[in-house]
Amino acid sequence: MKTVTVNIVTPDGPVYDAEVTMVIAKTTSGEMGVLAGHIPMVAPLTIGAVKLRKADGQTEVAAISGGFIEVRPDKISILAPSAEIASSIDLARAKAALARAEQRVQKKQDNVDFKRANLALQRAINRIKVHEGNI
């Protein structure tokens, strides 16, 4: 099966660079699978998991906190505010972030704080799910 290079880049630097046969990502209009040779496109991503299927049949998973996927026939770039490969997720940190965010969501002080807390909540839940392989 043909392969395509995938880069995941965040403001902190590159997180992933490998050859894969397929990328499955959650865009704002739904989940999409991209194979090598796909026509060029750009789509916004939601907080979610990105699955990276390798030629040997293994699948790596990354937790992505939004951003964009840019597809070209020979290269797929994911630009995200933050991204972690499952094995590099600190579960205790994500659980602590989840507890903090839950408290802030419950307080519902003002709309801005609520939205921010809700996004932090989603990021934490996503990291926990990806770390546990529960995706």
Candidates 21-29, 45-53, 87-95, 103-111 — which segment interacts with ligand ATP by CB under 6 A?
87-95
**Closest CB to ligand ATP among residues 4, 121:** 121
Is 93 among the residues that bind ligand ATP (CB under 6 A)?
A: yes
Which of 82, 86, 104, 135 forms a contact with ligand ATP (CB under 6 A)?
A: 82
| Interface map 23-62 toward ligand ATP (x if CB under 6 A) | ----------------------------------------
Min CB(114)–ligand ATP separation in Å = 16
Is 122 among the residues that bind ligand ATP (CB under 6 A)?
A: no
Sign of CA dihedral 95, 127, 116, 16: positive
Which of 4, 6, 78, 89 forms a contact with ligand ATP (CB under 6 A)?
A: 89
One DSSP character per residue, the chain reads: ---EEEEEEETTEEEEEEEESEEEEEETTEEEEEETTPPPEEEEB-EEEEEEE-TTS-EEEEEEES-EEEEETTEEEEE-S-EEEGGG--HHHHHHHHHHHHHHHHH---HHHHHHHHHHHHHHHHHHHHHHT--
Residues in touch with ligand ATP (CB under 6 A): 12, 65, 82, 84, 88-90, 93-94, 97, 120, 123, 127
